[in-house]
Amino acid sequence: MSTPPLTTETHPRTGALATAILGTVILVLNLLESMLVPALPLIQAGVGASTASITWVFTGLLLSGAVSTPLIGRLAELHNKKTVFFVVWGVVVAGVLLSALATSIVPLAIGQVLQGAGLGFAPLAIGLVRETQSAEKAKTSTGLLIGMSALGSVAGLLLSGPLLTVLSYHWLYWLPLAALVLLGIVAVPVFPATPAGGEGRIDWVGAVLLSAGLFAVLIALTEAPAWGWSSAQFLLLAALGVVLLAAFTTAELKMEQPLVDLRAGGKAVIITCVVAFAVGWATYAVYVALPTIVAAPPSVGYGLGGTPTTAGLLLLPLGVLGAVSAALTGRLERIFGSKTLMILSCLPVVASSAILFLARHDAAVLALASGLAGLGIGIGLTQAMNIVSSSVPVERLASASGFLLVLRQVGGTLGAQVSGSVLAGGLIEGTPLPTWSSFGAIFWISTVVGLGAIATSLALPRRLAGAAVTS
């Protein structure tokens, strides 16, 4: 028996259950990918991969996620979201299964690429929330979705070590696979059918330009530390990516039915996208620096001499505070207003970078910086989504939110790679460890980027008009 089409007025409980399923799927996928980080050396040995090729465990997922997320968002606007969910679910499950069975790097990398489609669950979920819940409830649900993502990313770092002491790394895939299959079975009767979005079509020209541009930029950023930031390969590939993305922007502004409607929402949406990019950069830079500081022996002038488990525990405040603050963002918006809350959400991002100057040997300061970064992610990303949701027509929300998530991911990639290159460029003589002044440089850069997010947020309109809903 099929589930009838759903609206805000009919069966809101069904929409809430479907959102819970999507949120749990997002939690499981983030848990899976973060569990792989400590296991990377074991995976490399298991598939006989080189140091360069094993990076595709994450690079492949990042690239496919960046490319597929806006496309999945647009498909969710045009077709029954239940159908789109199960197509993406099938691709992701196939990817996890392939990675679990892989005995060489090629099937492992292909599996990771397929799993990247799972990043499209977020805009699909946000579109469903806005379509099936009232505006106020939708803000709380969006916060819960963002929070589950943050919590999964940190929880995986804590769970990976204990699991690997008793199980092979393959179980890091098998356990999430079992959870995903179970969630898919539960979703069959629960997930609502939603009305198709009219007679629109996919803008394949825009999809190709965006995909090629993001691919070029992300490959350039990923390989920059090895190639060199001034190398011909990096400069040419980055320039090609920028040209393609500029062509994408021009084409979308002229299209009657673009892949991502850059005109929808106006100034407010553009500003939130810039803020999402900046928050992604600053928080990922902290994410890169903290484990390195924890692992360094105190004899080098900084560090705790800790284990990966210690680093995971110190990153736990990021996940917990990110999850809690994201869920409370809707209430905070009613207290402070949209613009003020967006500005305030950038303050902990700046503080998390600035306070790391005091973290040479202090675990408490590292935990505080982690928690502040979590607040920035939880409130900032949720509020950005809420502003987009209130500014963009419902029928274009999934692709708009997907585009915002992609920009946040690109910002995070750029922040991580720049930070990694700065640290690698200033090493303590005779060791592979960065100097403290190298850490200071990335703290300064992240602080400036965070201040840029605050300055950009100040340009938001004081009153944000609700989005028009077209039939």
- pLDDT of 31: 92
Q: 89 with 180: CB under 8 angstroms?
A: yes
Q: 125 with 385: CB under 8 angstroms?
A: no
**Residues near 90 by beta carbon (within 8 Å), at least 6 away in sequence:** none
Reported as a single tens digit per residue, the pLDDT across 437-470 is: 999 999 999 999 999 999 999 988 877 654 444 3
**Residues near 114 by beta carbon (within 8 Å), at least 6 away in sequence:** 64, 91, 92, 94, 95, 98
- pLDDT of 399: 78
Fold category of 263-471 in CATH:
Growth Hormone; Chain: A; (1.20.1250)
Q: 374 with 327: CB under 8 angstroms?
A: no
Q: Where are the domains of the chain?
A: 1-199, 203-258, 263-471
Nearest Cα residue to 80 out of 206, 207, 191, 203: 191
Number of Cβ within 10 Å of residue 347's Cβ equals 18
3-state secondary structure of 454: helix
**Interior angle at CA 170, CA 165 and CA 173, nearest 5:** 110
- pLDDT of 6: 44
CA distances from 395 to 101, 166, 467 (A): 39, 48, 10
- pLDDT of 405: 85
| Residue 252 tokens, joined | 């979308």
Q: Which residues face 193 on adjacent strands?
A: 5
Reported as a single tens digit per residue, the pLDDT across 8-53 is: 444 555 667 888 888 899 999 999 988 887 787 788 888 888 766 7
Pure H helices in 303-362? 308-336, 338-354
Q: What is the DSSP letter of 260?
A: S
- pLDDT of 3: 43
CA dihedral (377, 329, 27, 413) in degrees, to 10, reads -20
Give the span between the Cα atoms of 58 and 37, in whole angstroms: 9
- pLDDT of 423: 83
Nearest Cα residue to 104 out of 62, 54, 60, 63: 54
| Residue 30 tokens, joined | 């983030």
**Interior angle at CA 448, CA 454 and CA 378, nearest 5:** 50
- pLDDT of 129: 80
Give the span between the Cα atoms of 451 and 468, in whole angstroms: 32
3-state secondary structure of 5: strand
CB-count burial class (<10 Å; 0-12, 13-18, 19+) for 172: buried
- pLDDT of 241: 92
CATH top class, domain 1-199: mainly alpha
Give the span between the Cα atoms of 142 and 140, in whole angstroms: 5
- pLDDT of 229: 83
Low pLDDT (below 50) residues in the chain? 1-10, 466-471
pTM of the model: 0.81
Nearest Cα residue to 172 out of 182, 186, 162, 181: 162
Nearest Cα residue to 280 out of 33, 27, 452: 452
Number of Cβ within 10 Å of residue 41's Cβ equals 11
Q: 225 with 417: CB under 8 angstroms?
A: yes
